[in-house]
Amino acid sequence: MLASFLEGWSIFRQNLLGKIGLVLLIIFALMAVCSYIPPWINPMYNPMTGVDPAITSCTPPSLRHWLGTDFMGRDILSQLLAGARIAFMVGISAAVMSIVLGVSIGMTAGYMGRFVDTLLMRLADMIMVMPTLLVVLLLSAVFGQLSIWTIVLIIALFRWPGVSRIIRGQTLSLKQRPFIEAAKVAGASHFRIIFVHIMPNVLPLAFLFMTFRVTSAIITEAALAFLGFGDPGTVSWGMMLQWVWKTGHMFQAPYWLLPPGICISLITLSFYMLGRAMDEVLDPRLRKEDQTD
Amino acid sequence: MELRRYIARRMIQVIIIFFVILTVLFLLFRWAPGDPVSMMVDPDMTQEDAEILIVQLGLDQPIGVQYFIYIKNFFTGHFGFSFHYGEPVVDIIWNRLPNTILLFTTSIILSAFVGVFLGKIASWHKGKKTDSLMTIGALVTHTLFLPWLALILIWVFGYKFGWFPINGMISEEVWLDPEAGFIARAIDVMYHMVLPLFTLFLIHFGAYLLIMRSSMLETLKEDYILTARAKGLEEKVIRDHHAAPNAALPVVTSVGLSLAFSINGGALTETVFTWPGIGRELVSSVSQNDYPLALACFLMIAGVVLVSNLVVDVLYAYLDPRIRY
Amino acid sequence: MALLEVENVSIGYNTKKGYLKAVEEVSFTLEEGASLGFVGESGCGKTTIGMALMGLLPPNGSVREGRILFEGKNTLRMPDEEIRKIRWRKMAMIFQAAMNALNPVQRVGNQIAEAILIHDSSVGKEEAMGQVETLFELVGIPRDRLRDYPHQYSGGMKQRAVIAMALACHPKLIIADEPTTALDVIVQSQILGEIKDLQKEFNLSIIFISHDISIVADMCKEIGVMYAGQLVEFGPREEVFESPSHPYTKALLSSFPTVTGKKSDLIPIPGETPNLVVPPTGCRFCDRCSGPGPSCKTETPAWVEIGPRHKTLCCRC
């Protein structure tokens, strides 16, 4: 295990984009961690409720407020840091949930075959067609304002089909292998075969997909918040964009408009680059090779 | 012919899925907090009108009967009345639908063609500056946050430079003028379409570029490319006539797979640019609790996605002879 | 003047592991209407020679030294446009794995017509298709299959189509690289028979490349045995077959079973092919030779003439 990890690492290191992605992600992670610092220094830096007594409107960057303040006098930098925290939380939880779902369903479909397989894959097809964002919109119309965790759950529920297809394919090819036959002969139950024998072989692929799931979850939450349907108790980058747009400060406050958008785009980019680099590690065919005869 | 059977099969699939969605939405609205009557009937309506509507929508009947009336209403185009506009929902939908289709279709076609073209060129110059530039450009533009990009474009091109209008689809002066001909009106619409189209284009073309690029690189390794070279064809002819048609097929598949993503983007773009399409109508009807309209908009969008999927699949089947024959 | 004269050609590839010397100082000549076969195990360089003759080496391959004279002109010194004119018109190739040699999204008839149209601007599309029909008749494909796509053809048919394509411009030389490897035995013998007939009918020169010495002996008047990038024996097939002189040729012949003839044990050749990035000094076959001499490991062997056109690269012979 360790040997293959080290080998993977050396291949990863050669990939420039992967390294940049990793560095950027570490910066964002640091931002998320640091989000607890400003309110601790002074309550006026609290992203949601912190109001600087001296300022009650939009101000450009200054020494007190490194990125300036929004229309209510709240510090933009602390909002940005809090947004990083939310982004990771949303992205990773939604990704993990959808991967867990996708892997379980994919393995079950591939292993059980026939009726179960057809049923599950038809379901996957139908869900895949749905535009996640608009579904959440409709649900919030019917059920009222949704909390951030509900949003995360719904995103996960609509994102598993993509993963499950690939995992199902892998399971189908693994099913034929001798070691599965051996396990069956030894009397292992279906459940055991799926989770103890097939799953470890299928996980690396699943991890790869996780990076792409994270980005789509972050973007969906950001778009929702942007439209005004996010959780009003959380400060996310999408929420920040909503505020700057709806309060009409778009044209006057670039220090407010630019940072959240740049952050969303950059975090998406870095996860993508990381995912591509991991793709190269896992799939030998993608590595750069010189041609031999 | 195989193709006809394939199309027929896919169409049946579309109809089935649509029915499932229809049913799920029916159940959803019955499950929601609050009673169905307040969901479908405008509280500001007069008592008589409300009662007529209740009968029409079957809200006073048991749930089984309600379902049939619901389906029947769908086929007769009776979706109730919008709370916000006070008009029949179906009229609003018909009014908005063409606008969405115009923007959506144009943006997909444009990004696909440009993406394929540039991806082909990038694979040509693999490893060199042009390639790196294009690949990085595609990566960066593809990961930009769409609403934010839209805002930036509005700020720079609409506000600062004033080159393009920043909202709506039409300028009233042009359309109210009785002497304005079709061409003048068409140009007006196109003028308004530039920024939203550009936003959608920028976000989407990158993905197609990257796919075409790697697809070309794979295709160029194939044996039949060697054959083409052995026949004495020029490199340019080989790339354009032999490699590119094969390499473009995965891009078509990818367009189909990303349709849901594209329609999300479409709705966001319409909202930011106040382009009067169905996406924007969905967003605003949800925030105004205009349930009948929201429901119908969602159904229509689902329909658009399903039909687009069908179109893409048929197109692929037509382009790849291995499927057709 | 011989149709093809290959003089002391060495070819190598730049790989991650170093410069691979795939072909080393190979020389031979081929007259018009003659047939020559190259036989050897995989990696011995026979396909590389075929590619080099057509000018189709991959980007990391190059001819390090030597000349390839086709109709008296050195193809290695020709500019691209000139080579393109020769390709297919004078020299055509039947590739290994015809399965993938045809473009899957183009109709077979069109692909073959394309070859005709490029090289003869006076021919129109209609006429070209007419010629393709004649070619199909020649190779035994029904005319109504012209407008089909490659995936609709069976393996044997695809091979025939590829042969028809090679003949499209009536070339003088055809290089056939393992044309029947992927086919079953019955179709294989049919196709080989057809190739022989076509060769006689059009007075074609053929270079036949295979790992199967029995096919080569059947098809070609002269045989060249290749090992580790070198031509180790060359001569008329009767002589090479009946009285082989190089130890490798002898070993190769005895590792093939015969249907008729005495039943004897097959003797495989022990060992592995040498590393071509750092080839051994002296004779490259020495490590696997059944009877090496004292100087075989240190001296580079030289050509020994055994008969009028029969030579071998061995110190002991």
- Token pair in block for residue B129: 């500056």
C103 touches chain B (CB under 8 A): yes
Contact A290 C16 (CB under 8 A): yes
Q: Residue A202: is it exposed, middle or buried by C-beta count within 10 angstroms (0-12/13-18/19+)?
A: buried
Q: How far is CA B31 from the centre of its chain?
A: 29
Min Cα–Cα distance to chain B from C97, Å: 8
C177: chain A residues, CB-CB within 8 Å: none
Q: What is the pLDDT of residue A293?
A: 29
Which residues on adjacent β-strands are paired with residue C209?
C38, C177
Contact A241 B268 (CB under 8 A): no
Q: What is the pLDDT of residue C262?
A: 65
Which residues on adjacent β-strands are paired with residue C175?
C93, C207
Choose the closest CB to C118 out of B222, B231, B325.
B231
Portion of chain C with pLDDT greater than 90, in percent? 24
Residue A1 has pLDDT above 60, yes or no: no
**C263: pLDDT confidence band, cut at 50, 70 and 90?**
low
Calculate Rg over the CA atoms of chain C: 20
Q: What is the dihedral of CA A133, A136, A137, A142, to 10 degrees?
A: 170
Q: What is the pLDDT of residue C18?
A: 85
DSSP single-letter state for residue C43: T
What number of other Cβ atoms are within 10 A of residue C249's Cβ? 24
Query: Could you give the CA distance from residue B39 to residue B77 in angstroms, rounded to a whole number?
Result: 18
Q: Which runs of consecutive H residues, i.e. helices, occur in A130-177?
A: 132-143, 148-175
Contact A138 B301 (CB under 8 A): no
Q: CB–CB of C300/C279 below 8 Å?
A: no
User: Is the pTM higher than 0.90?
Assistant: no
Q: What is the pLDDT of residue C188?
A: 84
Q: What residue of B is the nearest CA neighbor of A222?
A: B145
Query: Could you give the CA distance from residue C38 to residue C119 in angstroms, rounded to a whole number?
Result: 29
Q: What is the pLDDT of residue A289?
A: 42
Q: What is the pLDDT of residue B272?
A: 93
**A292: pLDDT confidence band, cut at 50, 70 and 90?**
very low
Full strand arrangement of the beta sheet holding C35-39: C91-94, C173-177, C205-210, C35-39, C222-227, C230-236, C311-313, C303-305
Arithmetic mean of pLDDT over chain A:
83
The helix/strand/coil state of B129 is: helix
Query: Which tens digits make up the pLDDT trace of A254-269?
Result: 888 999 999 999 999 9
Subunits with at least 3 CB pairs below 8 A relative to chain A?
A: B, C
The helix/strand/coil state of A219 is: helix
Residue ranges, chain B, pLDDT below 50: none
Query: Which tens digits make up the pLDDT trace of A30-42?
Result: 999 888 888 787 7
Contacts of residue B29, defined as CB under 8 A and 6 or more positions apart, other chains included, come to: A142, B36, B39, B40, B291, B295
Residue A290 has pLDDT above 50, yes or no: no
Arithmetic mean of pLDDT over chain C:
85
Query: Could you give the CA distance from residue B314 to residue B4 in angstroms, rounded to a whole number?
Result: 10
Residue C174 has pLDDT above 90, yes or no: yes
Q: What angle do CA C236, C239, C243 make, to 5 degrees?
A: 150
**C261: pLDDT confidence band, cut at 50, 70 and 90?**
low
Largest CA distance in chain A: 76
A15 touches chain B (CB under 8 A): no
DSSP string of B265-320, one letter each residue: HHHHHHHHTT--SHHHHHHHHHHTT-HHHHHHHHHHHHHHHHHHHHHHHHHHHHH-
Q: What is the pLDDT of residue A291?
A: 34
Residue A149 has pLDDT above 70, yes or no: yes
Q: CB–CB of C207/C174 below 8 Å?
A: yes
Q: What is the pLDDT of residue B98?
A: 92
Q: What stretch of H or E contains C61?
A: strand C61-70
Q: CB–CB of B153/B199 below 8 Å?
A: yes
More confident residue, B134 or C291: B134
Query: Which tens digits make up the pLDDT trace of B91-141?
Result: 889 999 999 999 999 999 999 999 999 999 999 888 889 999 999 999 999
- Of A191, A223, A212, A197, the C-alpha closest to A269 is A212
Contacts of residue A217, defined as CB under 8 A and 6 or more positions apart, other chains included, come to: A90, A91, A94, A95, A98, A152, A155, A156, A159
Query: Could you give the CA distance from residue C302 to residue B235 in angstroms, rounded to a whole number?
Result: 42
Contact C87 B245 (CB under 8 A): no
Query: Which tens digits make up the pLDDT trace of B204-213?
Result: 999 999 999 9
Q: CB–CB of B206/B141 below 8 Å?
A: yes
Q: Region C285-306: what's the mean pLDDT? A: 74
